[in-house]
Amino acid sequence: MIAILFILVFLTQHIDMYQVFAIGSFGVIPNTIICGILYISFVFVLIFGNMKFSLPRPVPYSMKCFFIVLIGILLSGLYPLFWGNSLVIVQYFKTSLHFYFLVFFTFLCFFYPISFKTWNTAIKIWLVISIFVNIFGIYQIVARAFDLPFAWLKLNNVSLMSRDTLQLDSFKQLSLQFQNFFRATSFFSEPSYLAIFNGFTLIFLVVPYVQSRSAFLRSKFLTRLTFISSITAMFLTFSLTGLLAVLIIILLIILIERREYIKKIFGLILIAMCFIVVTDSIVSSKLDTSVLSLFEERISGIISGGTKRHKQISGESFTTRVNLANESFKLWKKSPLFGVGLGTHQYHHDTENTFGGYSALVALGEGGVISFIGFCGMFFFLFYDSYKLKKRTENLEDNIGVRLQGLIIYIMAVLFGINFFTTNSFVTPALWHTLGLCFSILYISRPSSSV
């Protein structure tokens, strides 16, 4: 039962656009409900069961940094308590309560005996689901161009909207239009989330192959279909976040894998490029828009800073992210040590946006130096420990545990790129539940674990 709940929590971490019901302006999503059931089950086992719980000895530095983040967020409430009004105080408590609810899953993964088999099953199901997710995302490209059914999905999670503009009837998926081409979103609220989902999908597919481990899916046909659909859908998201994830994976393989393994990645790159070129040709001929040309235009516009020769494309999010980063620094200057309070970004006169831009800078601006040091330290030590584990296990015979352990350094690298350079997921299950997987596999999971 508990193993099933862990799997469901992991699989639903990205499904935050559909609420089951709302409590005020907070949308209760499936992941929240499953987490609640898991936490209750944990308390029941703790009180009435015979299962023993214990932290790894010695306690890893990454775990210590995690607890520093928790303490920093708690202390960030001092600023709204002493200098904020009732609205700011209430918002801090609401956001902090949600934050601690999310990270309790990560806390469970520290010492709850989750087996390699459970995580292996979760990833297998993830890969099978990704086929349907990506095929639907590809279908939407056609559906939006020719006004077919399910071209746009209505989203109902009030938490995704600005806190002062709750208009559910007008809330749909976000996707910029370039002539007849709309960026792929699939079941997600915007293209970047589909790109992030596929970033992890590619890790689950590519890394075991490069490391000469057995694939998660036994069927070669399903494995190849998953890879092709993932590459195609990620390309059609037209997302720099997706591009960053792919570049991180490739660069890390070149840097840390054995020379004889590195050759495999170039074969995969060649195959991927063939499908990308074919996909771009089809899109260009049917929709009069080349996605490859759009990528070139977008990257050139960012590098040049939007000069007359290379103008930034319409709706470019990079500039917005930079502005959000500047706002986070302004907030940090108000209260360098403790921050201005988690979730209170929009309530300050020198900010124009509801939320911060990057997770790391949210930790700095809203959580202060304490939270920021803990957040950065947690990433550093998780990455360092995963690298040591990889080197220690790369000569071992293939098995479920070794295959899972080989993934962690790649997951951490992509999480670092996303949360430090492209996305704010500081108060989302997508960050903390993925970190839970990493903590569990690095320090706790064993073949003999009972869950």
Q: CA 304, CA 311: separation in Å to the nearest integer?
A: 8
Q: CA 447, CA 451: separation in Å to the nearest integer?
A: 10
267 with 211, same domain: the answer is yes
Lookup: tokens for 416: 């670092």
Query: Residue 165: pLDDT above 80?
Result: no
235 with 344, same domain: the answer is no
301 with 182, same domain: the answer is yes
* Mean pLDDT across 91-99: 96
362 with 309, same domain: the answer is no
Considering the domain boundaries, does residue 280 fall inside one? yes
Q: CA 411, CA 406: separation in Å to the nearest integer?
A: 10
Considering the domain boundaries, does residue 157 fall inside one? no
For residue 28, give the 3-state DSSP assignment: strand
Domain span at 327 = 56-103+318-451
* pLDDT of res. 308: 52
Please state the φ and ψ torsions of residue 102, each to the nearest 5 degrees. -65, -45
Q: Which of 156-160, 237-241, 275-279, 415-419 has the lowest mean pLDDT?
A: 156-160
* pLDDT of res. 309: 56
Considering the domain boundaries, does residue 41 fall inside one? no
- Report the Cα 425 to chain-centroid distance in Å: 7
Considering the domain boundaries, does residue 51 fall inside one? no
Q: Whose CA is closest to 409, among 62, 68, 132?
A: 62
Considering the domain boundaries, does residue 451 fall inside one? yes
**Helix, strand, coil content of the chain in percent (nearest 5):** 65, 5, 30
* pLDDT of res. 166: 46
For residue 172, give the 3-state DSSP assignment: strand
**Among 288, 315, 342, residue at a domain's last position:** 315
How confident is residue 169, by pLDDT bands cut at 50, 70 and 90? Answer: very low
Considering the domain boundaries, does residue 37 fall inside one? no
Three-state SS for 211-269 is CCCCCCCCCHHHHHHHHHHHHHHHHHCCCHHHHHHHHHHHHHHHHHCCHHHHHHHHHHH
232 with 132, same domain: the answer is yes
Percent of the chain scored above 90 by pLDDT? Answer: 62
* Mean pLDDT across 243-269: 91
Query: Residue 381: pLDDT above 90?
Result: yes
296 with 190, same domain: the answer is yes
* pLDDT of res. 22: 83
Do residues 244 and 189 touch, judged by C-beta distance below 8 A? no
Q: CA 443, CA 187: separation in Å to the nearest integer?
A: 34
For residue 168, give the 3-state DSSP assignment: helix
Considering the domain boundaries, does residue 16 fall inside one? no
Do residues 365 and 340 touch, judged by C-beta distance below 8 A? yes
Whole-Å CA distances, 309 to 238, 260, 304: 22, 43, 8
Q: How many domains does the chain have?
A: 2
Considering the domain boundaries, does residue 400 fall inside one? yes
191 with 134, same domain: the answer is yes
Q: Whose CA is closest to 408, among 376, 373, 374, 443?
A: 443
348 with 377, same domain: the answer is yes
301 with 327, same domain: the answer is no
DSSP letter for 347, please.
Answer: G
pLDDT tens string 186-195: 999 889 999 9
* Mean pLDDT across 178-204: 91
* pLDDT of res. 164: 46
**Among 315, 349, 384, residue at a domain's last position:** 315
264 with 357, same domain: the answer is no
pLDDT tens string 44-71: 888 887 766 767 778 899 999 999 999 9
One-letter amino acid of 74: L
140 with 286, same domain: the answer is yes
pLDDT tens string 331-377: 899 999 999 999 998 888 666 677 777 999 999 999 999 999 999 99
* pLDDT of res. 142: 92
Lookup: tokens for 260: 């004889």
Sign of torsion over alpha carbons 139, 145, 149, 152? positive
Q: Whose CA is closest to 370, among 62, 68, 63, 66?
A: 68
* pLDDT of res. 398: 82
80 with 134, same domain: the answer is no
Please state the φ and ψ torsions of residue 114, each to the nearest 5 degrees. -90, 130
Q: CA 10, CA 153: separation in Å to the nearest integer?
A: 23
Q: What does the CA dihedral 117, 120, 122, 127 come to, rounded to 10 degrees?
A: -160
Query: Residue 205: pLDDT above 50?
Result: yes
How confident is residue 310, by pLDDT bands cut at 50, 70 and 90? Answer: low
Query: Residue 300: pLDDT above 50?
Result: yes
* pLDDT of res. 404: 95
Q: CA 141, CA 183: separation in Å to the nearest integer?
A: 7
Q: CA 104, CA 276: separation in Å to the nearest integer?
A: 40
Lookup: tokens for 189: 């609220």
**Among 315, 347, 364, residue at a domain's last position:** 315
- Report the Cα 105 to chain-centroid distance in Å: 15
